[in-house]
Amino acid sequence: MNKLTELKEWDLLRRHHEEIASQHMRDWFAQDKQRFSKFHLRCGNILLDYSRNRITAKTLTLLCDLARAARLHDKIEALFGGEPVNVTETRPALHTALRDPDPADIRVNGENISLLINESTQKMRDFVTQIHHHTRTGITGKPISQIVNIGIGGSHLGPMMSTHALKDFAVANLDIHYIASVDDHQLKEVLPQINPETTLFIISSKSFSTIETLTNAHTVLKWMQDRLGPDVIRKHFVAVTASREKALAFGITEENIFPIWDWVGGRYSIWSAVGLPLMLMIGNEHYADFLQGAHEMDQHFRQAELAQNMPVLLAMLGIWYANFFGTNVQAVVPYTHRLRYLVPYLQQAEMESNGKCVALNSEQVRHTTSPVIFGEEGCSGQHAYHQLLHQGSHLIPVDFIFAGTAGETSRNLHQDLLLASCLSQAQALMCGKTYEECYKELLAAHYPQAAAAAQAHHQTIPGNKPSNILILNRLSPKSLGALIALYEHKIFVQGIIWGINSFDQWGVELGKQLLPSILKHVQDAQFDSPADPAAGIIHYLRTNTEEGDR
């Protein structure tokens, strides 16, 4: 296959960019009152308004041509068909099968995965029923009322994001806490809030060897044993892992081990038993809706034409900005407090997947890959980093996300203000404010002409900053499932275009390899070489922290 930048479709996009780069979206909207009608798309309960992008109909045609040149359709079918799309680890990436109500007869290492999925799902459902009906209790016979998830990365970000997002759908009176950091201050915050007799701990680790997770798990186990005796693990600890033997060695009983598999990546594992905290909170039926929403997005992704395919459009717009406008940052701004942990979730999903510089052919890529993902809850961001979006020297595309109130009894001022804030930010990014507009306003405010002329430069906002608006009719288990799947597939498409493996993370592994030897140096302050770059920091901390602050 030709290198990406050598494709004729790439060159056509490059020349097209030169043609329209100086044009302003403000003028396009003025010339075409139907621009929204032409550049929006609905899939289920999600509306994508992509009219505020620096694109024309020709741009979309050329972007779709590039996707075809990359044989995107074939790659999508390879993903769903269980082919080893994770080429560096020779594994499939079958997270989509976890949310398929009728998964295909796909075999991995000789095992029918549909049977494995059904067995695991039924075990989760039975466990949730036992907790909710109080037939599964703590060691003293009291019902479980608190859940603590111990995990990190994909075993933490997905459950934390989704349980906060869907609190309105809780069917059980369960308090859910998360321990991810190896900093013991997090333990000191969580443990005083829980009752040992009524708390269930979920140790979530695919390998069951992640040092942060196991360090926290051992500390918590001792804390529990000191209060309830040595047998507490039998009633108060479960494991979610692909390493059954290690969980058994830790002391987890067979019935309390929920399996995950090598063919599901950590950052795609919310659909597996890693989602147990969410299932415990929202119950079996709502959790089924969560999976169904994702499955419906899967079907849309497989079946829709490229120009009407929501994940493909999001992905190709990202390609357009990263590779032709030279952007290297993408903002995600949810205008709902319930999605305040979506950005950290997407940071892992996008940057761990596509933060690569080596192509599938083992050569260095010649183009930009994953942008830096950042953002936070919308209204807070307006009073923090939005200044950079509007007047900074960087071009930063933005995804705004808003959840409507469909099905609720009435709107209120808070929700109206949220929507108005979201729309006004998108409008300001697109339109901007010209020097002439600023100058006239200042004169009307009785500024002297010279002062107004100088001040107007500072108040001018260039506009022409691209954004998408994603509208969820309502933030529900189904719409959240669809939203997550939308971004998963967007990430996959971009990986295909860039010619990289979106399913490995070798950059994460090096730090893990270095950790044991550096930990030994930290503990004994002995170094193989005085030139070790860690030596100076460790020596400084040893000599200064002992003195304390005076």
Q: Which residues are marked as active site?
A: 352, 383, 512
What are the angstrom distances between the C-alpha of 132 and each of 127, 142, 160, 281? 9, 12, 20, 9
Whether residue 461 contacts residue 391, with contact meaning beta carbons closer than 8 Å, is answered with yes
Whether residue 367 contacts residue 5, with contact meaning beta carbons closer than 8 Å, is answered with yes
Q: Which residue has 């990406």 as its token pair? A: 4
Question: Hey, what are 81's tokens?
Answer: 């068909």
Question: Hey, what are 21's tokens?
Answer: 């780069």
Q: What angle do CA 85, 90, 92 make, to 5 degrees?
A: 45
Q: What φ, ψ does residue 374 adopt, rounded to 5°?
A: -145, 170
Q: What is the dihedral of CA 131, 132, 134, 137, to 10 degrees?
A: 20
Among candidate residues 347, 340, 413, the one with its CA nearest the CA of residue 380? 340
DSSP annotation of 357 reads -
What are the angstrom distances between the C-alpha of 393 and each of 24, 53, 56, 461, 462? 17, 18, 24, 11, 10
Give the Cβ contact number of residue 427 at 10 Å. 14
Q: What is the dihedral of CA 73, 77, 79, 80, to 10 degrees?
A: 140
Collapsed DSSP state (helix, strand, coil) of residue 395 = coil
Q: What is the dihedral of CA 135, 136, 142, 148, to 10 degrees?
A: -140
The total number of residues shown for the chain amounts to: 550
CA distance 424 to 431: 10
Pairing of strands 467-472, 46-49: antiparallel
Whether residue 103 contacts residue 114, with contact meaning beta carbons closer than 8 Å, is answered with yes
User: Cβ neighbours of residue 381 under 8 Å, at least 6 residues apart?
Assistant: 333, 375
CA distance 546 to 549: 9
Find the helix or strand (DSSP H, E) in which 20 lies: helix 8-20
Whether residue 380 contacts residue 310, with contact meaning beta carbons closer than 8 Å, is answered with no
Q: What φ, ψ does residue 364 adopt, rounded to 5°?
A: -65, 135
Q: Which residue has 């300001």 as its token pair? A: 428
Q: What b/e string do you get for 250-266 counting C-beta neighbours within 10 Å, with b at 16 or more?
A: bebeeebbbbbbebbbb
Among candidate residues 419, 331, 418, 330, the one with its CA nearest the CA of residue 376? 331
Question: Hey, what are 266's tokens?
Answer: 């950590």
DSSP annotation of 92 reads -
CA distance 525 to 518: 10
